[in-house]
Amino acid sequence: MPTTANVEEVHVNLSEHCETHPRELIKYFCPTHQALLCSHCVALDQHMCKLEAIVSVAISFKDSSAYKDIQTHIRQLANDACQTTLAVEKKAMDVDNSERKDKTEVLDFQSTIAECLKEKCHHLTGQITTASQEMKIILTHLQERSKDTEAEASGLKADLEDKENNSVLLFIYAYKSKERATAIPDKLRHIEEELNKIPTYKLKLDVALQSLSCIGSYRKSANKQDSDEMWSDKQKGTSVL
């Protein structure tokens, strides 16, 4: 056990409990493993590393490079989460705008031809609605995940800022936040990967009225990451009306 701090000093400003031993207060820090420890952790794990009393190292922690690194990392994660949310919301807006534009174009096209084409145009607008609804379901899910991730990162950022007047709590929360933030980059990457997989549809109307067997199509536009083989299978997924 560390001997540099007496029992009374160890308890000053200490109120955070150990996650492994909930009844014990966090008192020590292991620089080697970047770990927050209580007395039980030290005794049970027979910690062989050089430990530091938190009440001692926390005094100058706010001005240390370690805290600045953690603070910068958390702020960047919060910014990344915000940017991802904006990207999802922009994609959702683009889908809405595309849906309105394409439906309007289909209905205008319908008005220029005979009454007999109404049924086919109705079928095509239904296809647009179905495709848009499928994308909206995905985007709604991504929005929820992105906002949850943003809230998580912003919460960590707010916790750090809220503890800056208490050097001990700041020290503890900084390293807790650093640990809790490890999963955020993967969450953001997965959201962005799924966002990039959402297809873009392009409306193509057939203006050749010599044949009424087809009035147009509504199909996915290839994204940058899509392979050239996406449409090789006879435009799989495309309906012709």
Model confidence pLDDT, tens digit, residues 101-156: 988 888 887 777 666 666 777 788 888 899 999 999 999 999 999 999 999 999 98
pLDDT at 240 over 50: no
Residues 78 and 187 in one domain: yes
Q: Are residues 20 and 121 in the same domain?
A: no
- DSSP-derived secondary structure for 151-195: HHHHHHHHHHHHTTT-HHHHHHHHHHHHHHGGGHHHHHHHHHHHH
Q: What percent of the chain has pLDDT over 90?
A: 35
**Residue 124 placed within a domain:** yes
Q: Which residue has the higher pLDDT, 120 or 44?
A: 44
Are 170 and 96 contained in the same domain?
yes
Is 169 domain-assigned? yes
Asked if residue 148 and residue 74 are part of one domain, the reply reads yes
Q: Please give the pLDDT value at position 123.
A: 82
> What element of type H or E holds 12?
none
Segments forming the whole domain that contains residue 16: 7-57
Among 185, 200, 215, the domain boundary falls at 200
Overall number of domains in the chain:
2
CATH classification of the domain holding 12: 3.30.160.60
pLDDT at 73 over 90: yes
Asked whether residue 123 falls in the same domain as residue 52, the answer is no
pLDDT greater than 70 at residue 239 = no
Q: If 0-12 CB within 10 Å is exposed, 13-18 middle and 19+ buried, where does residue 226 land?
A: middle
Q: What does the block give as tokens for 217?
A: 């199509």
User: Which H or E run contains 110?
Assistant: helix 65-111
Q: Do 91 and 43 fall within a single domain?
A: no
Has residue 210 got a pLDDT over 60? no
Q: What is the pLDDT, as a whole number, of residue 24? A: 92
Q: Check whether residue 89 and residue 166 sit in a common domain.
A: yes
Average pLDDT over residues 65-76: 92
Question: Token pair for residue 119?
Answer: 């049924």
Do 188 and 71 reside in the same domain of the chain? yes
22 and 47 co-located in one domain? yes
Final residue of a structural domain among 167, 184, 200: 200
In a domain, 227, yes or no: no
Residue 209 lies in a domain: no
Report field, pTM of the whole predicted structure over 0.85 = no
Lowest mean pLDDT among 6-10, 104-108, 178-182: 6-10
Cα dihedral 160/144/77/86 (nearest 10) = -120
Same domain, 53 and 69: no
Residue 200 buriedness (CB in 10 A; 0-12 / 13-18 / 19+)? middle
Q: 182 and 157, same structural domain?
A: yes
In a domain, 223, yes or no: no
72 and 90 co-located in one domain: yes
Query: Is 239 a member of any domain?
Result: no
In a domain, 210, yes or no: no
Mean pLDDT of 24-50: 86
Is 233 inside a domain boundary? no
Cβ distance 9 to 53 under 8 Å?
A: yes
